Amino acid sequence: MNNESSQLQRGLKNRHIQLIAMGGAIGTGLFLGSAQVIQSAGPSIILGYAIGGLIAFLIMRQLGEMIVHEPVAGSFSHFAYKYWGKFPGFLAGWNYWILYILVAMTELTAVAKYINYWWPHIPAWTSVLFFFIVITLVNLGNVKFYGESEFWLSIVKVTAVISMIVFGLYLILTADASSGASFSNLWTAGGFFPNGFEGLFYMLAFLMFAFGGIELIGMAAAEAENPEKTIPKAINQVVFRILVFYVGALTILLSLVPWNQLELGGLDKSPFVMIFSQLGIDWAAHLLNFIILTAALSVYNSGMYANSRMLYGLAQQGNAPKIFKTVNKQGVPIPAVLFSALLIFGCVLLNYFVPEDALSHLIYVVVGALVLNWAMISLTHFKFMQSMKQLGQKTSFPALWSPASNILVLAFIATILYIMWTQGFKESVLMLPIWVVIMFILFKALRPKN
């Protein structure tokens, strides 16, 4: 085993890896984020998630080829550093770390809203503080403890989506003519593309962010038992999960009620809640609130895990202070966990001391960081392939259709940036070069002179 990861313990079993990958594919983007896309794209949102799922799968296979060849801490930051250069490694690592600090902050803030759905009198800061302490303690335990917590949080999400699909299918198949529930709702209310292909095209950028987090499996590689078998198995099932959980769930839901009859409102505009509420199934709102709360905690839990492991990997490279290389007897990078937790808590405090307008600007950074993250994975894989070719080495889990898939992924990312530029996210696009320059200045300032 490579000494880059020798201090971390391989305590994640096959079932942990499977559910971590599955949990990454089912986030709040499915439960909450799809409402806005449905308004613009109608039933063609189903095709949109299929397209997005294909691109996400290609990125996963590119990352997968590298991590199976060398399952180390720091994931794609390590590969960017090794096969591309010192600055790309620095940029990839710190960009990912900042991205998940901000994602963890937004998820933790959202948790308070879901608690207030049941108990409006509870001050937001108390529920935020409670879950902050719980998730931090989970991540200070050994990696098996994290694996178990994410396993069960993901089980709730997966069971919920499958149950909704089965229950929705039952309602469609047993519906009488007066109920209006029918698969024909997918094409009769203005057609499959009610607002033309443009209605879907300009939503691609928005729905792609639902797939943010699937690359988390790369962070778990250094602590996976038998990564050569468990990682390929988990990655290959990602495309199946996307088809079932995104395409399947939305096909059923948009068959239950015509998309243009959806009443906006309900639980943070979740289409799942809207549809079941309109069907008169009132208990669904409470059940879905619990599921969405679980989804937010799962993403936050995984975000803190990813942050600590990326910080550990950066310290191994010399791109972060040496203290973050420290692990306890159980193989947990305690300083990296605590430092990440400290910043996440600082971001939570921003919610109370900074106006909401200021926070919306942080979201622009999240959007830009995610796009940069995917682009760097694909570019790094391209460099990795060149290196393997020069060394005459063959990998055991080759990416699909590479290098054509690398070109396709980068062209798709360029399309996403164009959509963002034209659809009011110009600030996100402008932030990207500024962010890279800031990172380069920090790289020059912080890195010891060789």
Q: Give the residue ranges of DSSP H helices in 119-142.
A: 124-140
- Partners of 224 in the beta sheet? 12
Q: Tokens 């759905």 belong to which residue?
A: 117
Cis peptide bond upstream of 403, omega within 30:
yes
Amino acid at position 92, single letter: A
Give the closest residue to 314 by CA, choosing from 136, 98, 104.
Answer: 98
Residues 167-226 have pLDDT tens digits of: 889 989 988 777 778 899 999 988 999 999 999 998 888 788 778 777 777 777 777 888
Kindly list the averaged pLDDT for each block of 10 residues, start to end, along the chain of length 450: 53 78 66 74 92 91 93 83 94 90 81 83 84 92 85 86 87 81 90 93 83 76 82 82 82 87 55 72 78 85 86 88 90 92 81 57 71 94 96 94 96 94 86 92 78
CA distance 225 to 11: 6
The pTM for the full model equals: 0.86
| Sign (positive or negative) of CA dihedral 172, 177, 178, 182 | positive
Return the pLDDT at 24.
63
8 Å CB contact between 34 and 45? yes
8 Å CB contact between 238 and 328? no
Assign 3-state DSSP to the chain and report helix, strand, coil percentages, each to 5: 80, 0, 20
8 Å CB contact between 246 and 210? yes
Tokens encoding 216: 């988390």
Maximum Cα–Cα distance across the chain: 76
User: Domains, the chain, ranges and CATH?
Assistant: 14-444 (1.20.1740.10)
Return the pLDDT at 393.
94
Return the pLDDT at 5.
41
